[in-house]
Amino acid sequence: MATKAAFKRLTREYQNIQKNPPPFIIAHPSETNILEWHYILTGPPGTPYENGQYWGTLMFPPEYPFAPPAIRMHTPSGRFQPSTRLCLSISDFHPKSFNPAWEVSTILIGLLSFMTSEEMTTGSVSATESERRVLAARSRWWNSTGGGSHSSATPGVTKTTKGINNVKAGDGGLKFRTEWPELDQENWAWMKEHRIDISTGQILPDPNAPTKCSPETSALRRRPNGSAPGIGAVMEGGHVAREAGQSWARRNRVWIGLAVLFGYALLSRLVSDVQG
């Protein structure tokens, strides 16, 4: 339970972040617990996370602002381990370095800055730029379907909105839908528009698209192997010409040799006459 100071401080910060949200950041406290905050970071342009929808949580201690929150990002990003506490100077890993003047917006701006860097820490992971772009493209699907578990129950996982420390694939997107109902509706509309398979996150085939390649594309995909009449004729002609040239040389090799000797003798005689 939050102290009066923490409740008052977080209420004021929620009002401030609603009035002046930082770029690429939105956040709000849970309706049932003001110490449990949910945020969405939108991947900034020019980064591997561009247009990605990254959902995470801040769990504030009752003595906030004199102690920092635990920071987690639930959406797979290729930058952080999903639902894992992150070791940052603004998180509960370093309570002594936390400044009570820092607000929720300060914390989330710092998190976004760290995310777009390559510095490693506890809870961070390595991935290629292409892998991160793929995860960014699948982030809306992951958030609203619980990683594809929306239509089928996962053994051993009970769908519930309670608890935020380990929100992973398997809850069917229930927790995200509870905290972000409007975004969830937008995500489902987006998935329908882009023909996203709810179970896999992959794009479904377009039934209106042509099923056969154009003749030009088919021709470009074929490799010339000499079986086509035109190509075969050219290759055969080359073989005949090469063999014909070799036969003429063989048949006239004696005359070729005599011509070379005669030329050499004539050249020698000319040189002798010039010298004399």
Which sequence positions are flagged as catalytic?
87
Rounded to a whole number of angstroms, the CA Rg of the chain reads 36
Q: How far, in Å, CA of 174 to CA of 144, rounded? A: 8
Yes or no: say if 79 and 124 are a contact pair by the CB < 8 Å rule.
yes
Q: How far, in Å, CA of 43 to CA of 52, rounded? A: 5
Q: How far, in Å, CA of 268 to CA of 270, rounded? A: 5
251-276 burial, b for 16+ CB within 10 Å, e for fewer? Answer: eeeeeeeeeeeeeeeeeeeeeeeeee
DSSP 36: E
- What phi, psi does 39 have (nearest 5°)? -130, 160
Yes or no: say if 59 and 36 are a contact pair by the CB < 8 Å rule.
yes
- 3-class secondary-structure state, position 203: strand
Name residues whose C-beta falls within 8 Å of residue 243's C-beta, 6 or more positions apart in sequence.
none
